[in-house]
Structure 1
Amino acid sequence: MKNKKFKLAAVALLSMITLAGCSGGKDIVTMKGGKITDSQFFDELKKSSTSSETLVNMIIQKITLDDYGNKVDQKEIDKQYASYEKQNGGKKPFEALLKQNNMTAKQFKENIKQSLAFTEMLKSHIKVTDADLKETWKTYHPQVETQIMSFDSKEDAEKALKKVNDGEDFTKVAKSDSHDTTTKEDGGKVKFDSTTTTEPAGVTVPNEVKEAAYKLENGKVSDLITVQNQQTGADVYYIVKMVKNKQKGNDYKPYEKELKEIFEQTKIADATFQQEVIGKELDKANVKIKDSQYKDILTPYLPQKETKTSESKTSDSKESKSSKTKSTDSSKKETTESTK
């Protein structure tokens, strides 16, 4: 437990050092011959290479909570907190982990709220069109029910496939032979669609396996499917039995809700889109940086506004004068020719 790192992906974006209360002259350390005040400590923190990033996160946090915090449902906060508890061994182990990282349950829930508010902010900038839904529809497949076995050894996979092809029950073979400890006890049962969502949650179904599964009729079993593990480079072998397939047909309307959710989740995960939204929200909030050290920290986020340089203005002025001169000369020429 001592060396366990505290990684919380859902709230990582807005994790921050709390600097409130560091602006005064209160002593925080005393010693023989001297002391350290909170203002001295604050000045030292400002020298840190991460201080700009921390301040940016604090600004985003304030804007996000002020404008979108009221859209967050407390039930969702509690649900996510419970999920983290479960992932980390239960209530007591998780509380011990929080304490180890100088955090209380209340503070952690506040971080979850911050993350959810940030998602709400992103959603408020998403406008889904029919064109977006049709584009998402191209790669969408409705949820199917399958049984899957996976193997690290080709030899083991071939043996299992032979058993199934010889008439042995797929469920029985999965329970005895599959290397997937998450699903084997239930006979390899997995539901999935073309997104990352699976039942049970957290099961990884490679795209190659999905594509092979979609082609199967109910009750049919695939050949051996070889997939390369992207992290290790090793081959993993899969066998799929289709329990209940569902063809999507030609009309996307019945799946409009699912398609909208997929499109929104794709946009929310897009780093470029996130930065665009942050820029718009910062611009809307009219944020002013009073400390000269940090005057440019928001520049990478703010929308770039077109400005004419003095050189450009001079050039425009010259072009305008030139145009006027040409017009006058042309007029004089026409008058002279008319007189003749």
Structure 2
Amino acid sequence: MKKKKIILSMTCLLSVFGLAACSGDSDTDDEIATMKGDTITVGDFYDKAKTDQNNQQIVLDMIISQVFTEKYGDEVSDDEVDQQITDTFGDEDTLNQQLEASQMSRDELEETYRQSLAVQKGLEDHVNLTDDDLKEAWESYHPQVEAQLIAVTSEDDANEVKDEVDEDDADFGKIAEENSIAPSKEDDGNVKFDSTTPAEEVPDEVKEKAWDMEDGDISDPIAVESDYGSGYYILKMNKNQDKGNDMDKYEDEIQEVATDNKINDQEFTTQVIGEELQDANVKIQDEAFSDVLAQFTDAANSDDSSSDSADEESTEATETEESSD
């Protein structure tokens, strides 16, 4: 299963390098602008900028990424970094355009992905799956199906294509090649996906429709509105399968789904990040950022208190039993 697992905000990480590139070797006393009776210096700008919410988030992301990269960065391979870049940008032309627009080098981009993958590794290291976690993952999982997909931009186009594929002896693959805007058009519209396939590859609305389809069924136009684009999809199911009752058959997939569910749980990630920040002994030195870690350190401290309370209750129970004896 190919999945994107970028935890930190890439927008924020890219912004970090943008700010660094712009700042250069500027001194805080360097003048940005002058006017009658006053000046605006680099220091003035920094003092104002660091209270901005977006910049507070950038600092938070920087701290988290550096803490996790220091501890888990060695576990991230070059191949993993390259794969994430390919999954995000696709072809080299698109990648180079984005690098030029953000004034970043390839090495800087690779470092942002390495940092984010290090966070992923750190979160995974804290995952301890229970039977309930696996059961929940099993209930939501649907195994891989084989289908063909046509994507178009308008409802009118979708209705026309639907009429065409419903005709006797219609060649769905040829119609996909002639009309679809999806990457699969180059392969007769053929796609394979399961319930874990990212929405940017197969929209969730399409997947939900697919699970109820029989082999040979062709869907009505499926409207999709998402961050990955709007459009209409027509799906032909070629090979659907029921997962049955044997969870062991899909053990690896269920483990991955359960792990992803855990990592996508905000309470879990907040707790883990808080523990790692405490372990790294992170101290905020600038008062402007005094509260930037509060949600994470509070979660970690709360868990410590809960653990201490549980230990105390266990000790008290043991002492009571001994006293009774």
TM-score for both structures, normalised by structure 2: 0.70
How many angstroms apart in 1 are the aligned matches of 2:61 and 2:212? Answer: 44
SS at match of 2:211: helix
Contact 1:14 / 1:114 at 8 angstroms: preserved in 2?
A: no
Structure 1 residues 247, 293: closer, same or farther in 2, change over 3 A?
Answer: closer
Amino acid at match of 1:112: Y
SS at match of 2:149: strand
2:183 corresponds in structure 1 to 182
Alpha-carbon shift at residue 240 of structure 1 (Å): 1.3
Alpha-carbon shift at residue 203 of structure 1 (Å): 4.0
2:210 corresponds in structure 1 to 210
Structure 1 residues 42, 182: closer, same or farther in 2, change over 3 A?
Answer: same
2:197 corresponds in structure 1 to 196
Alpha-carbon shift at residue 196 of structure 1 (Å): 2.1
Amino acid at match of 1:227: I
Contact 1:10 / 1:112 at 8 angstroms: preserved in 2?
A: no
Structure 1 residues 90, 62: closer, same or farther in 2, change over 3 A?
Answer: closer
Q: Percent identity?
A: 30
How many angstroms apart in 2 are the aligned matches of 1:132 and 1:99? Answer: 43
1:221 corresponds in structure 2 to 217
What count of residue pairs does the alignment treat as equivalent? 280
Contact 1:144 / 1:245 at 8 angstroms: preserved in 2?
A: yes
1:253 corresponds in structure 2 to 248
How many angstroms apart in 2 are the aligned matches of 1:252 and 1:133? Answer: 9
SS at match of 2:147: strand
1:170 corresponds in structure 2 to 172
Structure 1 residues 168, 26: closer, same or farther in 2, change over 3 A?
Answer: closer
Alpha-carbon shift at residue 120 of structure 1 (Å): 1.1
In our comparison, the structure showing a higher alpha carbon Rg is: 1
Q: What is the Cα-based RMSD across aligned positions, in Å?
A: 3.9
Alpha-carbon shift at residue 172 of structure 1 (Å): 3.6
Alpha-carbon shift at residue 137 of structure 1 (Å): 0.8
1:240 corresponds in structure 2 to 236
Q: Which one of the candidate residues 292, 311, 315 is aligned to 1:297?
A: 292
Superposed, 1:40-79 pairs within 5 Å as: 41-42=42-43, 44-48=45-49, 49-50=51-52, 51-79=55-83
How many angstroms apart in 2 are the aligned matches of 1:72 and 1:235? Answer: 36
Name whichever of 154-163 and 272-281 sits farther off. 154-163
> Are 1:269 and 2:264 counterparts?
yes
Q: Deviations over 1:209-263 (max 9, x none)?
A: 31233xx14xx233x4343333599983524132x33321101011111111122
Alpha-carbon shift at residue 55 of structure 1 (Å): 3.1
SS at match of 1:148: strand
How many angstroms apart in 2 are the aligned matches of 1:86 and 1:235? Answer: 20
Name whichever of 128-137 and 53-62 sits farther off. 53-62
How many angstroms apart in 2 are the aligned matches of 1:158 and 1:101? Answer: 41
How many angstroms apart in 1 are the aligned matches of 2:202 and 2:269? Answer: 27
1:143 corresponds in structure 2 to 144
How many angstroms apart in 1 are the aligned matches of 2:129 and 2:150? Answer: 38
Amino acid at match of 2:144: Q
SS at match of 1:142: coil
Alpha-carbon shift at residue 84 of structure 1 (Å): 5.3
SS at match of 1:122: helix
Provide structure 1 residue ranges, at least 5 long, that are not aligned to the other structure. Answer: 1-8, 307-340
Q: Deviations over 1:58-82 (max 9, x none)?
A: 3222211111111111221233345
Amino acid at match of 2:184: T
Q: Deviations over 1:27-80 (max 9, x none)?
A: 756999xxx99xx63464132233533432332222111111111112212333
TM-score for both structures, normalised by structure 1: 0.67
How many angstroms apart in 2 are the aligned matches of 1:182 and 1:255? Answer: 28
Contact 1:161 / 1:239 at 8 angstroms: preserved in 2?
A: no
Amino acid at match of 1:104: S
> Are 1:132 and 2:133 counterparts?
yes
Structure 1 residues 280, 296: closer, same or farther in 2, change over 3 A?
Answer: same
Q: Which one of the candidate residues 80, 83, 86 is aligned to 2:84?
A: 80
How many angstroms apart in 1 are the aligned matches of 2:169 and 2:26? Answer: 79
Q: Deviations over 1:243-295 (max 9, x none)?
A: x3332110101111111112222333344433222222222223222333433
> Are 1:283 and 2:278 counterparts?
yes
Q: Deviations over 1:80-123 (max 9, x none)?
A: 345556446257xx0x6424433222211111111111111111
